[in-house]
Structure 1
């Protein structure tokens, strides 16, 4: 896995000023940071037709998994975070301190998508638990799975 963060596009903050968490002058989207490895996640349908490629930050430690994307202001289509666990198990994710809604894609050890959740922002203070059987969980902007045709049963390949 590399150490370069996925490419970002300019986004203005509410105050109109640009914000960045990267060292590039042109990157203006708050990102998880340069201490994350990255991976390319390729999703194909049941016929083997490639649907999408997602550039993902890798959350492979407890600290990174706990924080997730909560320190990130937005994601573009084709960007995400890949949570990597030691083995396949029942997983539960919440939308703690999130600034934008997500699609959560649960992936088993063989690379098959087992569950997809569309997770809106939490407004009442209660954290909904989104559950699924997974060794990997890919988070992307909400609606991305619908726009790209990603569905349960599709296959995922992770390229380092």
Structure 2
């Protein structure tokens, strides 16, 4: 069952967004949630005994392709698209596990400094920050944290792809490689 955002959390977000706007800050704190594995890679896959929860309805799905500087395909990931404030805030934080080849792509209106945290996450992630032109600018490997003091993972991005921790290492995805959203 997806976690519902409380009125108190929404109120706090409104205050924080208002303060960030007043201060002229260009960053946004987002929830992370996610995962994906390349169809050719089974690491990070769920087992038959692991229940899989998915984001609530209303998420568009797409396929992203990751290529190296020579254009060689490194991986593909089927993603849920988080393209509104609410979808980006919740992310996959209420997802207990993901099917192989799944993940989440956070989409913003423009390229800017972005900050993500591991709020309510049950599994570790790789966070792939991607510029407006599709170039990977930063990759973070983020372990699961308690909801106390959360680490902020930052980078310059229009898109942020979240996949299971270690996915970028297994597939050879690195800073400078390219991400392409199919159909975009």
Q: How do residues 52-63 of structure 1 correspond to structure 2 at under 5 angstroms? A: 52-63=75-86
- The residue number in structure 2 matching 1:79 is 102
1:91, CA displacement in angstroms?
A: 0.1
Once residues 93 and 158 of structure 1 are traced to their aligned partners in structure 2, the CA distance between those partners, rounded to angstroms, is: 21
TM-score for both structures, normalised by structure 2: 0.72
Q: Which of 1, 6, 12 is equivalent to 2:49? A: 12
Question: Alpha-carbon deviations, 1:66-90, whole Å to 9, x = none?
Answer: 0011011112442110000000000
Q: RMSD over aligned Cα, in angstroms?
A: 1.8
Pair 1:148 & 2:164 matched: no
Paired residues of 2:64 and 2:180 also in contact (CA < 8 A): yes
How far 1:121 sits from its partner (Å)?
A: 0.5
Alpha-carbon distance between aligned partners in 1 of 2:123 and 2:56, rounded to the nearest angstrom: 18
Change (3 A) 1:124 1:157: closer
Give the Cα separation in 2 of the matches to 1:53 and 1:76.
Answer: 14
Instruction: Give the distance between the partners of 1:119 and 1:76, measured in 2 at CA.
Output: 19
Are 1:82 and 1:138, in contact at CA under 8 Å, matched by a contact in 2? yes
1:106 and 2:143 are equivalent in the alignment: no
**Runs of 4+ more than 2 Å apart:** 8-13, 75-78
Structure with greater helix share of residues: 2
* Distance (Å, rounded) in 2 between the aligned partners of 1:108 and 1:142: 21
What pairs up with 1:41-60 in 2 under 5 angstroms?
41-60=64-83
Q: How does 1:96-135 map to 2 (within 5 A)?
A: 96-123=119-146, 125-135=148-158
- Equivalent in the alignment of 2:116: 93
Higher RCO structure (Cα 8 Å, ≥6 apart): 2
The reply to whether residue 158 of structure 1 matches residue 176 of structure 2 is no
Number of equivalent positions: 140
